[in-house]
Amino acid sequence: MKVALFSPMPPERSGIADYSALLLPSLRERADVVVVKRGTKKPPRGTDLCVYHIGNNPEAHGWIVEALRRTPGVVVLHDFVLHHLIAGLTIGRRDGHGYLDAMEREGGVVGRLLGHAVLDKRIPPLWENRPEDFHLAGEVLDLATGLVVHSRYVHDRARATAYSGPIWIVPHPAFPVPDLAAADVGGEPLFGSFGNVNASKRIPQLLEAFAQERRRHEGSALLLVGATSPGFDLDRRLQRLGLDGTGLVREGYVDERRLWQLMIAAHVHVSLRSPTMGETSGTAIRALSLGRPLIVSDAGWFSELPDEVALKIPVDDREVSTLTAALELLATRPDVREAMGVAASDLARREHAVERVAERYVAAFEQAAGGGAVADAVLTEVSEAAADVGIAPGSDEATEIARRLAEVQLGD
């Protein structure tokens, strides 16, 4: 079976490029996978199935959506919210009408009016401050003959839009852990947060909670790794909380090697997120691979992590106090950290192993490529047999047969 894969690939700097590169060798052991050159809009000759990796970045995924428009296929939906992508494909190409149409399609007249307000710069861009309210995934879902998603959360959100095609939930693969020494960073324990430093990573709440925790445990430290998002005044916050002197270790954007060294150094990984775009966190997956306990937001994909590996913090008005309690628990109970770490490693090996993930991908590809013909063959034979013995369409007996077919997933 020949699969044409439309995805960003290294040296492009994107999480999805790294993701595809990690999986590709294992996919190729199981199927004839051809990586389509960036910008190509047609699949190679003889392709049985086109697979499109789509995330929320128009630079990385705009050309992939254009290819999907020409040849529908299976979409690997890395983010459910695609507002930024669609804005880039419309407003970014001076196609304001396209943006208005997308907004109207999802939000009706109100959506269109809001779109006008964005175009007229009367309100801030919705993809920056209200993306979760207008996901704009409709066109992509319409074109997708099947979806691969990484979480039940995205599965359910897709179904909520009335998407009726097949959906396969395939876990994110675990990255192989490089053989590196931990970075020399103090702190007992050392909490680490990795990724952009901004409000949606709940950094304000994390800083407040850590400041409270540190009043009781002076030895603990917080490592913040990642670029500070524009407009996020980290220094002022640190000063206000008294974290500008000790207790906080700051590293900006770091290369892959340094990132791993810092991740290895952290005893506990904090991976908070709200609002969520439905994405899976690559850094949280790395924490699992490293066997580190996690503190996460109780939202989206993060909620689906087993309780054994992650303390989940509800995003509510008690968020800071709950987060403080979680930090204190893991600061004072190395046995709990140890148990959670072992569970994290087990989960990474069991659910996120590259070979296992690749097998599930290829299962999805094979069902997507041939499943329709097979379903037709089954339904034809069953319905002919039913008709032969006088079972009429719509009768109770036919309904019963349909129910039984659906039970064993032969009914679609």
Partner 1 sequence: MRIAVVRPQVPFAYGGVEIFSDALVRELQARGHDADSVTVPFKWYPGARVLTQAFLWRLLDLTEADGKRIDMVVATKFPSYLVRHPEKRVWLVHQFRQAYELDRTDLGQFSESPEDRAIRRRVQELDRVGLGEASRLFATSQNVAGRLERSTGLVAEVMPHPAQDIPYRNDGPGDFVLSVNRLDRAKRIDLLLEAAATEPTLRVVVAGDGPDRQRLEQLVSDRGLSGRVRFAGRVPADELADLYATCFASYYAPVDEDFGLGPYESFLSGKPVITATDAGGPLEVVHDGSTGRVVEPEAAAVAEAAVWLRDHPDEAATFGRAGMMVAAEVTWDRAIGRLLS
Q: Which pairs from 118-125 meet CB under 8 Å and 24+ separation?
A: 118/91, 119/91, 125/87
Nearer to partner 1, 164 or 409 (CB): 409
Nearer to partner 1, 129 or 395 (CB): 395
The residue from 48, 66, 104, 244 that contacts partner 1 (CB under 8 A) is 48
The nearest distance, CB 395 to partner 1, in angstroms, is 15
Q: Is the distance from CB of 331 to CB of 323 less than 8 angstroms?
A: no
Strands (E), 220-327: 221-225, 248-251, 268-271, 294-297, 310-313
- Token readout for 292 is 């580190």
The nearest distance, CB 40 to partner 1, in angstroms, is 22
- Token readout for 56 is 């929320």
Reduce the DSSP state of residue 180 to 3 states and report it.
coil
Which among 118-126, 137-145, 237-245, 368-376 is the span making contact with partner 1, rule CB under 8 A? 368-376
The yes or no reply on residue 49 touching partner 1 (CB under 8 A) is yes
- Token readout for 394 is 């719509």
Closest CA to 324 of 192, 213, 204: 213
The residue from 28, 367, 398, 402 that contacts partner 1 (CB under 8 A) is 367
Q: 29-53: string of b/e by CB count within 10 Å (b at 16+)?
A: ebbebebbeeeeeebeeebbbbbbb
Site for partner 1 in 232-291 (CB under 8 A): none
- Token readout for 291 is 């066997």
**E strand or H helix that includes residue 108:** helix 96-119
Number of residues that bind partner 1 (CB under 8 A): 22
Burial of 396 (0-12, 13-18, 19+ CB in 10 A): exposed
The yes or no reply on residue 373 touching partner 1 (CB under 8 A) is yes
The yes or no reply on residue 388 touching partner 1 (CB under 8 A) is no
Interface mask toward partner 1 for 307-346; x: CB under 8 A: ----------------------------------------
Q: Is the peptide bond before 131 cis (omega within 30 degrees of 0)?
A: no
The yes or no reply on residue 1 touching partner 1 (CB under 8 A) is yes
Nearer to partner 1, 52 or 365 (CB): 365
Which among 81-89, 285-293, 329-337, 400-408 is the span making contact with partner 1, rule CB under 8 A? 400-408
Nearer to partner 1, 321 or 380 (CB): 380
The residue from 381, 387, 393, 395 that contacts partner 1 (CB under 8 A) is 381
CA distance 201 to 197: 7
The residue from 378, 392, 393, 395 that contacts partner 1 (CB under 8 A) is 378
The nearest distance, CB 115 to partner 1, in angstroms, is 41
The yes or no reply on residue 96 touching partner 1 (CB under 8 A) is no
Contact residues for partner 1, defined by CB under 8 A? 1, 48-49, 363, 366-367, 369-371, 373-374, 377-378, 381-382, 401, 404-405, 407-410
